[in-house]
A and B are shown apart, each in its own frame.
Chain A
Amino acid sequence: QKEVEQNSGPLSVPEGAIASLNCTYSDRGSQSFFWYRQYSGKSPELIMSIYSNGDKEDGRFTAQLNKASQYVSLLIRDSQPSDSATYLCAAQLSGSARQLTFGSGTQLTVLP
């Protein structure tokens, strides 16, 4: 079992819809979680961080964390074609120095 798992997709949603991206992690002691967006041929760009249970909203993005279920999600409201990218979930595992462990990413396509 990978330490951080994501549905590899690809995921397609129509423009204006809500895109839901999911991630599970195996280390119950993990405390910090991040979502990065990566356009093709570009480097990962941090879009959300979440450290406590519940929801965290930033514009059209909402991150959700459920530590009991070891589950992190990212919702993108009013999806735009410019949101089409690979979304990487990352966790700072307990016992690690400070590095991140990434999932393999979910490719999202927003159809105009």
Chain B
Amino acid sequence: GAGVSQSPRYKVAKRGQDVALRCDPISGHVSLFWYQQALGQGPEFLTYFQNEAQLDKSGLPSDRFFAERPEGSVSTLKIQRTQQEDSAVYLCASSLLTGNTEAFFGQGTRLTVV
């Protein structure tokens, strides 16, 4: 695709509900990243995939957060038993593996837990 595509754009979840956020990276981009952005802050790293391999998940805030990229393209970020503190914008970015490391972001998913 022309850019990174994320869905849904907005998600309202009741506390305790599970949610799944989808990211479709730029075609040919091997690297895929998930970030969490709270209001008024810069994005915070969650996890990184190179193809289907999850090489770094050090930023995931708890074991309620799980990400996968089974075929090395589309990725899903799943949050189980959502809490109010999970409310944020979840951003996906992708980049080429070789050469420069410029990363391009999708539109994000705004998650509100009520």
Q: Are A103 and B42 in contact (CB under 8 A)?
A: yes
Residue of A with least CB distance to B43 = A102
Among A46, A51, A103, the residue within 8 A (CB) of B103 is A46
Q: Which of B59, B106, B108 neighbours the largest number of chain A CB atoms within 10 Å of its CB?
A: B108
Chain A min CB distance to B103 (Å)? 6
Chain B residue contacts of A36, Cβ below 8 A: 105
Chain A residue contacts of B91, Cβ below 8 A: 43-44
Residue of A with least CB distance to B3 = A43
A67 to B48, CA, bound (A): 26
Q: Which residues of B contact A (CB under 8 A)?
A: 31, 33, 40-45, 48, 50, 55-56, 59, 89, 91, 95, 100-108
Q: Can you offer 9 A-B residue contacts whose CB atoms are under 8 A?
A: A43-B105, A43-B106, A46-B104, A46-B105, A97-B56, A100-B43, A100-B45, A103-B42, A104-B41
